[in-house]
Structure 1
């Protein structure tokens, strides 16, 4: 069975389920964390989630690379030896694998997070090399995508050479 090619998920506060913070990590308050898994990569190395937390201060350990996009609220993040950073609605941040931080949530915060298990540098190099060889020996036809096609020309500047695009209608 092949994986679904396009996964659409809607972050829904009503779909969040309890995801308790370890009691030993809580510094102050009674933060309540909840999570909703939105998608998971076929190779199980990447998960996209919707996460929320109520007021409190706690330690947090990132056991994998995590990119966050704050949807609402704010969090003040403090890494030992560094100045605190405030993340609020619209901000995007990357927390690298192995990072410890103190999170202070003044009222509440809600985020989308993409958590990815990173490869060692040598593993990443090997993966890129294999992908490069795959493109050479097993090229994918990009000029003729499957499905119903319409050709059209597009240019924002009449003095520019017109560029030819192919659009595939999504049904």
Structure 2
């Protein structure tokens, strides 16, 4: 906090099943603070305005209806003169070395056009066999890739 004693409110709206993306409403009164982004965030200003300044000193004022993108790892100074209300669409970045394995797993579990994929169909078939087997065994496959 650089200046002010803000009153802030935050309310989650929705999230993806895997928790990697979510939507939240946020508002804040008069203040000045620096925010370090630990995820990608796209905001839409719903009410009021805010002046945002990047690490190079470039400033921009965001007003009602404006859309802005704040990438993972960046830092921005937010200056709220009176009040600002936004909706934020947030997404946790997948490390580059894990992008291909994640895409493959999503495709296998979801399949094309949202239909049940290979892993889902296999799991449904296996569900009929496992209760008769008397015990359940789980196999976890860890993919080790250098970062």
Say if 2:51 is the partner of 1:76. yes
The structure with the largest strand share of the pair is 1
Q: How does 1:152-171 map to 2 (within 5 A)?
A: none
Say if 2:9 is the partner of 1:34. yes
Q: How does 1:2-151 map to 2 (within 5 A)?
A: 26-131=1-106, 138-140=111-113
Name the Cα RMSD after superposition. Answer: 2.1
Per the alignment, do residues 140 and 96 of structure 1 end up closer, same or farther by CA in structure 2, a change over 3 Å counting?
closer
Deviation at 1:117, TM superposition (A): 0.9
TM-score, normalisation: structure 2:
0.69
Highest relative contact order (Cα 8 Å, sep 6+), 1 or 2?
2
Count of residues paired in the alignment: 115
Deviation at 1:139, TM superposition (A): 3.8
Q: Name the SS for the 1:27 alignment partner.
A: coil
- Partner Cα separation in structure 2 for residue 63 and residue 44 of structure 1: 14
- Partner Cα separation in structure 2 for residue 124 and residue 55 of structure 1: 40
Runs of 5+ unmatched residues, structure 2: 116-147
Deviation at 1:84, TM superposition (A): 0.6
- Partner Cα separation in structure 1 for residue 62 and residue 87 of structure 2: 13
The structure with the largest helix share of the pair is 2
Per the alignment, do residues 139 and 100 of structure 1 end up closer, same or farther by CA in structure 2, a change over 3 Å counting?
closer
- Partner Cα separation in structure 2 for residue 51 and residue 67 of structure 1: 13
Deviation at 1:64, TM superposition (A): 0.9
